[in-house]
């Protein structure tokens, strides 16, 4: 598995989508994590900065949305960082879970998890960990962390709850023109 070949990708598709899916996370001194082009920054207060950055990449790999900025994923990881300050058990789970990801990536590809260049290779590592409580915690918390965030609703074309606006029946309940864009 160490010499796994990258997926067959055509030049045109790569040029079309490559720049929009490029993720660059930099761990700066003092536990500051900088997003691509320094567009956002967060400080890891309880987790190691490298763990925080790896969790952002992992969250993106679990729920990949090319049109969502890393900052939305980092906001969820910020919650993991906070819970790590409140619970030694949570902190150990996140730190050890990232250590497992890094170990698997080193064995398979010779680099840490977030440095594995192909998403399909990172997802393969994640599939091997699906039953792990660490993976299940990430997956479960991401559902609410990403999809309950009103800031992403507009990106997905979701207008929010409808009860206060008279319900869906008279407001285009069957209007799903956004579905083909997701």
Q: Are strands 41-43 and 32-34 parallel, antiparallel or unpaired?
A: antiparallel
Report residue 164's pLDDT band, with 50, 70 and 90 as the boundaries.
confident
CB 96 within 8 A of CB 134: yes
Rg (CA), the chain: 18
Q: Tokens representing 127?
A: 């599939």
Global confidence as pTM? 0.72
Angle between helices 119-127 and 49-62 (to 10 degrees): 90
Q: Are strands 26-28 and 41-43 parallel, antiparallel or unpaired?
A: unpaired
Would you say residue 35 has pLDDT above 60? no
CB 33 within 8 A of CB 44: yes
pLDDT at 128: 96
Would you say residue 14 has pLDDT above 90? no
Q: Give the Cα separation of 33 and 10 in Å (integer).
A: 32
Would you say residue 36 has pLDDT above 90? no
The predicted model gives 112-141 an average pLDDT of 96
The predicted model gives 19-31 an average pLDDT of 48
The predicted model gives 17-21 an average pLDDT of 40
Mean of the per-residue pLDDT values for the chain? 81
Residues 6 or more apart whose Cβ sits within 8 Å of residue 6: 117, 118, 120, 121
Residue ranges of domains in the chain? 46-159
Q: Give the Cα separation of 123 and 100 in Å (integer).
A: 14
**Which of 107, 20, 113 lies closest to 67 in space, CA to CA?**
20
Residue-wise pLDDT tens digits, 62-74: 999 998 999 999 9
Pick from 98-107, 155-164, 167-176 the range whose average pLDDT is largest. Answer: 98-107
The predicted model gives 62-91 an average pLDDT of 94
Q: Give the Cα separation of 171 and 166 in Å (integer).
A: 8
pLDDT at 115: 94
Element (H, E) at 26: strand 26-28
């Amino acid at each position: 598995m160490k010499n796994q070949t990258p997926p067959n990708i055509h030049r045109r598709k790569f040029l079309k989508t490559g720049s929009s899916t490029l993720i660059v996370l930099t761990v700066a001194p003092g536990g500051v994590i900088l997003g691509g082009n320094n567009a956002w920054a967060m400080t890891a207060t309880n987790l190691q900065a490298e763990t925080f950055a790896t969790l952002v990449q992992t969250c993106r790999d679990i729920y990949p949305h090319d049109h969502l900025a890393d900052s939305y994923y980092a906001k969820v990881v910020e919650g993991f960082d906070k819970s790590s300050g409140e619970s030694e058990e949570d902190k150990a789970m996140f730190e050890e879970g990232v250590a497992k990801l890094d170990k698997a990536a080193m064995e398979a590809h010779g680099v840490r998890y977030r440095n594995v260049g192909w998403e399909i290779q990172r997802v393969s590592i994640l599939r091997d960990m699906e039953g792990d409580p660490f993976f299940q915690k990430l997956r479960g918390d991401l559902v609410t962390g990403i999809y309950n965030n009103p800031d992403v609703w507009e990106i997905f074309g979701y207008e929010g709850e409808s009860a206060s606006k008279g319900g869906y029946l008279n407001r285009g309940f069957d209007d799903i023109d956004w579905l083909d864009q997701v």
